[in-house]
Structure 1
Amino acid sequence: MAITLNLTKSVPSLKLVLEKRGITRMPQLEMNIVADVSGSFEDEHREGVTNDLFTRLAPWGLSFDPDRQLDVFTFSSGPGSAHHVGSLTADNYQDFVARQIIAKVPGWNGGTDYSYVLEKMLQHYGWLPKAAGFLDGLLGRKPRSAARKRTLCAFITDGDNNDHARTRQVLAASQARADDAYILFLGVSNQGAGHFPFLEKVADEFGNTGFKRIADVRSFVQKSDDEINEFLIDPELAAWLSKA
């Protein structure tokens, strides 16, 4: 049975864990989910497991984001797969993956590259200029940037990527610019055997990234709000959130 959103219970739990981390005011920022749609993750999407994971993360966005929503991006391999799906809200979260993602997004069942969707996400929140269009090139116009917005990204993937060097370049450039964006990589395993050495390394290497391994996502989504919040909001993320 699909998990339902209960903000009456989830939001107080989030506030309590934040207070335990020394954060007494609810952070104000933009929240987004970036989801892997490579072939190896298809079963979890079709079985509703990733929709349940979205639902467990939704109270963060619905509490942190002034617009009470979470932007959702998807990716697989290559720049064409990096896609802004739309916004997840308290009104549309049920079956969001089935309605908006499965067999509908570009790159469905492809490979795995992280860098292109990271760039798209950073562009969306104004930390990178958007690529110039054809008409911009003809008219000699410079690439435009959106208004800069503080953002927290929950980046969900079930496997290693093929673009290690390019991903490091994107993360290094973001850190060098001092982008006010934090990327929490969630390495999701299907049967508890997944290893994510690259994500562990970049989480140590860059101050604007963190990593959490979810050994069994089906069990994880059944945990209590307190358990999920305690696990995800570690001292590094709490320090970043405290600046909001």
Structure 2
Amino acid sequence: MALVVNLEKSAQALVLSLEKAGITQPPILEVGFGLDVSKSFEDEHRSGITDVLLTRLVPWGLAFDPDKKLDCFTFSDGPAHVCDVGPVDASNYQGFIPRKVVNKVIGWNGGTDYSYLLEKMLTHFGWRQPEQPGFIKRLFGAKPVETVEKRRSLIIVATDGDNYDPDRTRMVLEESQARKDEVYFLFLGISNQKVKFEFLRSIGDVFDNTGFVRIEDLHGFVEKSDEELNELLITDELLSWLKR
């Protein structure tokens, strides 16, 4: 399944949706995309529907990101299964998931943990300090990992089910909130199997920089007009965060 869209037109539609909501100029934000590659999500990846979802999100990078891109990461279970698959932009979005992700990324068909993805992306955007090599590694010549500039960021996470690490995920979010990180996490819970996403609902209620949108019919969701899509994704809480 493939979709070709007028990305500039879609980006302009997003800008207009924001203007109607009182944001006359979209703030400059780095935009990140985290994609669940657990076993239960395999069919959606292989069918191409998550590639279409990514296509519909590329205009968010055009509208917000100074480099007009989305930084894409995949994740399943454990810290070793978070993979930086590179930026997605107007030049490479078509077929990105089958080309770069399906049966290629580390952690393909694993379980589901959120905390390690969140840590990786917070580090990537400068809000969390990277782990430095230990004493033994330094003895053998390992160099310190450089920190990066803090960049205000919108991170969209697409997942099809609840995670195995709720306590650790809450801890990561609590630490981020305590640091006053300028990051908003928007979780997209995707399932037509009556999954309740109770954990995602709970963190969406607890943390004012964490939102949740449930998508029961992904095919129907990606076929919506730009205006309809924006109305679903731009929640009141996200609007409040964007206006800060």
TM over 0.5: yes
Asked if the contact 1:188/1:214 (under 8 Å) is kept, the reply is yes
Change (3 A) 1:27 1:136: farther
Distance in 2, Cα, partners of 1:8 & 1:168:
37
Change (3 A) 1:64 1:135: farther
Change (3 A) 1:41 1:97: same
Counterpart for residue 147 of structure 1: 149
Counterpart for residue 99 of structure 2: 99
Asked if the contact 2:112/2:163 (under 8 Å) is kept, the reply is yes
- What is the identity percentage for the equivalent residue pairs of Structure 1 and Structure 2? 53
Distance in 2, Cα, partners of 1:136 & 1:23:
51
Counterpart for residue 166 of structure 2: 164
Counterpart for residue 138 of structure 2: 138
Counterpart for residue 14 of structure 2: 14
Q: Which of the residues 186, 189, 195 maps onto 2:188? A: 186
TM-score normalised by L of structure 2: 0.95
Displacement after TM superposition at 1:37 (Å): 0.1
Asked if the contact 1:33/1:72 (under 8 Å) is kept, the reply is yes
Displacement after TM superposition at 1:8 (Å): 3.7
In the alignment, residue 173 of structure 2 is paired with which amino acid? L
Counterpart for residue 84 of structure 1: 84
* Aligned-partner SS, 1:212: strand
Distance in 1, Cα, partners of 2:135 & 2:10:
47
Distance in 2, Cα, partners of 1:182 & 1:42:
27
Counterpart for residue 204 of structure 1: 205
Residue 219 (str. 1) matches residue 220 (str. 2): yes
Asked if the contact 1:29/1:65 (under 8 Å) is kept, the reply is yes
Displacement after TM superposition at 1:218 (Å): 1.2
Asked if the contact 1:129/1:144 (under 8 Å) is kept, the reply is no
Counterpart for residue 174 of structure 1: 176
Asked if the contact 1:13/1:226 (under 8 Å) is kept, the reply is yes
Displacement after TM superposition at 1:137 (Å): 4.9
Asked if the contact 1:131/1:144 (under 8 Å) is kept, the reply is no
> 1:155-204, CA deviations, whole angstroms, 9 ceiling, x for partnerless residues?
11000000000000000000000000000010011x25221000000011
Gaps of at least 5 residues in structure 2 are: none
Displacement after TM superposition at 1:110 (Å): 0.2
* Aligned-partner SS, 1:207: coil
* Aligned-partner SS, 1:120: helix
Asked if the contact 1:31/1:153 (under 8 Å) is kept, the reply is yes
Asked if the contact 2:77/2:111 (under 8 Å) is kept, the reply is yes
Matched positions, count: 242
Asked if the contact 2:8/2:62 (under 8 Å) is kept, the reply is no
Displacement after TM superposition at 1:15 (Å): 1.4
Displacement after TM superposition at 1:62 (Å): 1.4
Gaps of at least 5 residues in structure 1 are: none
Displacement after TM superposition at 1:51 (Å): 0.5
Cα RMSD after superposing both structures: 1.7
Change (3 A) 1:143 1:188: same
Which consecutive aligned stretches of 4+ in structure 1 deviate over 2 angstroms post-superposition?
A: 133-145
TM-score normalised by L of structure 1: 0.95
Counterpart for residue 67 of structure 2: 67
> 1:128-148, CA deviations, whole angstroms, 9 ceiling, x for partnerless residues?
111113578526977642110
Asked if the contact 2:15/2:63 (under 8 Å) is kept, the reply is no
Asked if the contact 2:12/2:63 (under 8 Å) is kept, the reply is no
